[in-house]
Structures are given as structure tokens and as C-alpha cells.
Amino acid sequence: MNRLGLIRHGVTLWNQEGRFQGHTDITLASEGIQQAEALASRLREDEGAWDLIYTSDLSRAAMTAQIIADALGLKEIHFDARLREVSGGLLDGTTEEERVSKWGEDWYDYVTTLGLETEEQSVRRGLQCIEDMVSQHPGKRILLVSHGTFLSYMLNRLMPNDPNRPHLNNTSLTTLIRDAEVWQCELYNCTKHLVDIS
């Protein structure tokens, strides 16, 4: 039985500005560092609950993972580009207002021509990454630090019977357990560690 902890990275300046981040390498804002530290403290209270940590190689996820790994005493962080956010192509760096200004109110109808990675493309690389992790570390409890849209797409595939989930918050923790090839959700989008952060 494998246990998987899905974590969305801490908040960035572009999150705060409403900009599409995609593969652009944005670091955590000071608030995002505080969020990651709060999550790390929470996870440390669960002593011995996690064996490994994997992360997207983009800075906002990697910084979040490093803060958590340090708190948990995990000596190695596994970086994997397959855990990156959905690539936005020409959308990267833009706000909704800028997208409407450039491509019109119906800009989303043309996202493939603008270079947005499809859900199927994202899920394909993500599922392969998870299968590789599980096969390499059978029975282990693995933390996975990644990105909001990417993780939402993955959950759509891993939990297809629950399509109306809210979008994941920054540094939220979602835990899944796989038994007999089926993933079951234990905890979804939990941010109780952020209560004291203003």
C-alpha cells in the first residue's frame, strides 16, 4: 500500500497578481515561504509519517519542498520535470485582463493555438511519474510538491468519481492511499496550518 501526499507550492508574486505561471520559473513570495514553513511544522508533528519527497524542478515548488525536507530530516529531494505546472505557452506571464486585451473575451477558445498544454498531455506525464515513483518505492509514503492546475488534472484522473472539487489552495495537503490499484482520498485541500498566517 502506498500513501501519497500532494502539496501545492507556496504563493508567489505572480499568484498574487493573478498571472498565469506555467513553466516560467518564479520563486516564492515572502508569504509563500511562511506558508511552506507552517506546513513543514505541521508535517513534523506527524513524526515518521513520510519517507520520501518528490518535487517539480521549478523554483516555487523546489523551495517549498526544501523547507519541508529540512523540517522532516529528509536528506534527499527527488526533482522531476514531469511534475511541472501545465505549460501556458503564450499565456505565461499574462493576467486575465492582458489576455482579453490581446486575444479577446473568448481567448480560451484558442488556447491550443496559443500553446497551452492540454489536460491529456499533462496527465500523461504525471501518471507516468507517479507510476515510476510507486514502482521504485513500494509501500513508501511519498510527498509530492507540484502546482495547482497540474495537481487538479491529476486528481481528475486518479479520482474520476469526484469531479466537482474546489481548486487546490497554496500549500494545501491532499493525501491519497492506493490499495489494489485504486486510489482513495483521505484528506483534500487541507490548509489548517495556515490559520495563524495573516
Integer Cα distance of 101 and 104 in angstroms: 6
Angle formed by the axes of helices 30-45 and 59-72, nearest 10°: 30
Q: Out of 9, 31, 37, 193, pick the active-site residue.
A: 9
Q: Residue 12 forms beta bridges with which residues?
A: 28
9 classed as catalytic = yes
Q: Out of 31, 37, 85, 117, pick the active-site residue.
A: 85
Integer Cα distance of 95 and 13 in angstroms: 12
Q: Are the beta carbons of 88 and 21 closer than 8 angstroms?
A: yes
Q: Which three cell numbers stand for residue 39?
A: 506546513
Judging by DSSP bridges, how do beta strands 173-179 and 182-190 pair with one another?
antiparallel
Strands of 35-79, DSSP E: 52-55, 78-79
147 classed as catalytic = no
Question: Residue 25 region, left (φ>0) first, then alpha (ψ -120 to 50), else beta?
Answer: beta
Integer Cα distance of 159 and 6 in angstroms: 13
- The alpha-helical segments, DSSP class H, found in the chain are 13-17, 30-45, 59-72, 96-103, 119-136, 148-158
Active site residues: 9, 85
